[in-house]
A and B are shown apart, each in its own frame.
Chain A
């Protein structure tokens, strides 16, 4: 079973399972790769974008990008 990052509501650490969709290349170029640890940090006041942490760096992601990231349960 896997969950999309866009459906995660609670902050916490996860492992990335796959990256799919139109933004695959860009996400992966930034080191957001399958098997890597991803922390969901928080949501913006309006729900999206969200803030994540990967390899010591923090990023914002909109819903459309968060939907590209599937996490291991």
Chain B
């Protein structure tokens, strides 16, 4: 390879280790998991190979350039240089899984038509050795006409070897259509290129074969992403091309594929050796239990329950510890700095706001840990298989399981993961109901309210009311998501059954260092992102809630009986006034104006609620008695009536509101991007918020009259 900076793309079937190679080359941490379809975006990094800094691109996996799903289409567009005005890559590293070489080479045979130099990277050699698959790289390389190297992407020395190999490789674009040996297909291809693609589209020269073959096989423009005129004429040309094939007795949907596989057989025949493996593997044995008629669904449900249990109870000691640290820090800062505005702002605004959120780090870490394990082992694909029948009944798809499960962590990766769902309707429904899954940003709110207002009394021996409420909220989210999907299914009836061809990868032990690094990354991102908004909002809010100040005389004249001066001041501050303006609309739900302020700020992000309450209540509390937010909520009373603000009904109503309302700007933004219109995010915001209002209203009205 010449010593100039290049753009190198990683391409291959799903789950072959592209992102593993990408991470090893670039030092970045793209998500890796044992599930086909983890990468759904084009990701860029850099790597020094042979002394030159090259750009490396990680792409979603695809079985064929004849794309059907959005993630596959992104790979195709990136390769032909029509993805967001990016140039096409200078070199392709085709990462293939040697344990199913023929199928992987199908895509490679398509890559060879694109006139981009290709290096074949045979990955998973460690697995191949166990299965006694041997490959002669030399012969394979000669037959395919491209350089070939075998590696195990998990081994560092293999990545070094790969770099040296790439640096030294002689690169030239392969000659396209080497596999093509039917006169009729060549004729049909030429026709579509000349009469349609060249005059009517701006597909780059090097991608015209591929696009023509795609159109012949598809027979229509259903999946086309570029704009063009004269659709009628195009359809006619394609129809004529298909007729050429049909008259020769060839099936236009099959002939290209068959010829490519013939070519692959010729290339691999004398280069590979494998024993047909009919023994019952570990994967088979695990699957006979995990996907069993009865045990399968039971195991799936148990895993969910275990996950919620872990988040709820195993995290508690860590949370108490963090709580303590923040209280001590607050006390220490309060004493160390001279009293005054800066002191108040730091202690009541920043430290209290931040502490209110960092405390939930342990739960978030547990949650991500669980999800990474489930994905890393390969279980998620089984969950999709087991649940498909059920999911279809409620208007979803087996492939919706993974996006919905990632929704427990955060709706955003979940919504993006829905790209792996091929059918537009299934995909939209998945996206639209996904924010009901109880994401980690709701955890702080749930945990705070449950700890403060739900009694810890044991029931049925091993459970507590607190635990049951916690599980209940998760289940509530799931049930609402499924119900909403069922209703939407009714609105958009489906024509026919949509496809569900998914690979079930062999089980793997999760790579522990990767799991821990990823969990640490996610935890850090949570603290950083939440911290940024929370500190900003806390500071602004602190000002709004601290000013205007009041003097003793005014307080003596106007305050309610028993109201402290701090409470009086807060009630008459800018924030307090504003809260009281909206109070009438939320009063029927059981919320006072302080909660109202929290609801408003939490439209930026849900976890901001806790920081907001923390700030508000710190201002109200006097300086000496720094107690936890939980106690402040319990002790808060209405200055007018002297009644506690929060009853169990209020707390439940608030939890229901948080379970259902669309309170996340980032989700709105991502739905806009993924659906390419404002229609869906608007609909989502309206229906979720309306539902939240109604359900909270019912909860409070029923709850407080019991």
A positions within 8 Å CB-CB of B:
19, 23-31, 33, 41-49, 51, 55-65
Contact = CB atoms under 8 A, between A and B. Distances in A.
Contacts of A42: 287-288, 291
Given A25-B253, A44-B291, A51-B385, A56 B502 contact: no
A30 B297 CA distance: 29
A36 to B, nearest CB: 9
30 contacts: A23-B501, A24-B251, A24-B253, A24-B254, A25-B253, A25-B254, A26-B68, A30-B63, A31-B106, A31-B261, A33-B258, A33-B261, A44-B385, A45-B293, A45-B294, A45-B297, A45-B389, A46-B388, A46-B390, A48-B388, A49-B389, A51-B385, A55-B103, A59-B501, A59-B503, A60-B504, A62-B499, A64-B499, A65-B499, A65-B500
Contacts of B497: 62-64
B640 interface: no
B546 interface: no
Given A25-B253, A45-B296, A48-B389, A59 B496 contact: no
A31 B102 contact: yes
Given A28-B258, A29-B106, A44 B501 contact: no
Interface in B260-297: 261, 277, 283-284, 287-288, 291-294, 296-297
A60 B100 contact: no
B64 interface: yes
A4 B253 CA distance: 20
A42 B497 CA distance: 20
Contacts of B258: 28, 33
A62 B257 contact: no
Contacts of A45: 291-294, 296-297, 386, 389
Contact of B496 (A43, A46, A64): A64
Given A45-B386, A49-B385, A60-B388, A23 B261 contact: no
A27 B254 CA distance: 10
Contact of B64 (A29, A33, A43, A57): A29
Contacts of B254: 19, 24-25, 28
B499 A23 contact: yes
B500 A62 contact: yes
- What 3 A-B pairs come out closest when comparing CB atoms? A46-B389, A31-B103, A58-B504
Contacts of A48: 388-389
B277 A56 contact: yes
B384 interface: yes
Contacts of B287: 41-42, 51
A59 to B, nearest CB: 6
Interface of B: 63-64, 66, 68, 99-100, 102-103, 106, 131, 217-218, 251, 253-254, 257-258, 261, 277, 283-284, 287-288, 291-294, 296-297, 384-386, 388-390, 398, 496-505
B443 to A, nearest CB: 31
Contacts of B284: 41
Contacts of A47: 389
A51 B504 contact: yes
A64 B504 CA distance: 19
B217 A25 contact: yes
Nearest to B397: A62
Contacts of B498: 62
Given A31-B102, A45-B389, A49-B388, A26 B501 contact: yes
Contacts of A63: 497
A44 B390 CA distance: 10
Contacts of B253: 24-25, 28
Contacts of A60: 384-385, 388, 398, 500-502, 504
B499 A51 contact: no
Given A49-B500, A51-B291, A56-B277, A25 B66 contact: yes
Nearest to A37: B276
A72 B501 CA distance: 22
A11 B346 CA distance: 68
Q: Which of B217, B261, B294, B504 has the most CB of A within 10 A?
A: B504
Contacts of B501: 23, 26-27, 30, 59-61, 65
A51 B500 CA distance: 11
B118 to A, nearest CB: 18
Given A45-B293, A59-B504, A60-B385, A25 B103 contact: no
Contacts of A62: 388, 497-500
A46 B385 CA distance: 10
Nearest to B291: A42
A30 B105 CA distance: 10
Nearest to A43: B293
Contacts of A26: 63-64, 68, 499, 501
B257 A28 contact: yes
